[in-house]
Structure 1
């Protein structure tokens, strides 16, 4: 999806110098499309993903990403679902994240 989205963005002629992708896999696809277009990451376009999958540190350049506690996110999801099923009120809350700065963001 990231590869196709960046190809469409480049074809549109819209100027941009950074991409924040909803997942690392999308960011990796975007990185490939940028390379195919002759653009360098982060020289021409800074790139950040989300999830901190293991492959993120092995891309070239290594992908800057946002890490989240997947276990806590899963527990929160199950808790919220069970509360909804029981008809209980559900309050919104945020889970902590951490920016993992690597080479793709300059």
Structure 2
């Protein structure tokens, strides 16, 4: 089983000056991440957004079940392919 970690932790580990929010937006624009919605467990009629890796995104990580929200996943990225993913994020994020 390959070691995975959150995008926030991997960005910090690689000392990258980009926010997780911005990196996620870039990953969505690249088609590697998608936004899904689920009904809120606290507020009737409200929807909660969460991110999932797409088919192409699964080359860089896995969708792990979120322990605090069953049925919702959280993307976790492979440490060994993260540098390649980071290059894609940085290229796409350049003005």
Please state which band the TM-score falls in when normalised by the shorter chain.
under 0.3
TM-score, with length taken from structure 1: 0.23
Q: Which has the larger radius of gyration?
A: 1
- Greater strand proportion: 2
Instruction: Give TM-score, length-normalised by structure 2.
Output: 0.24
> 1 or 2, which has the higher helix percentage?
1
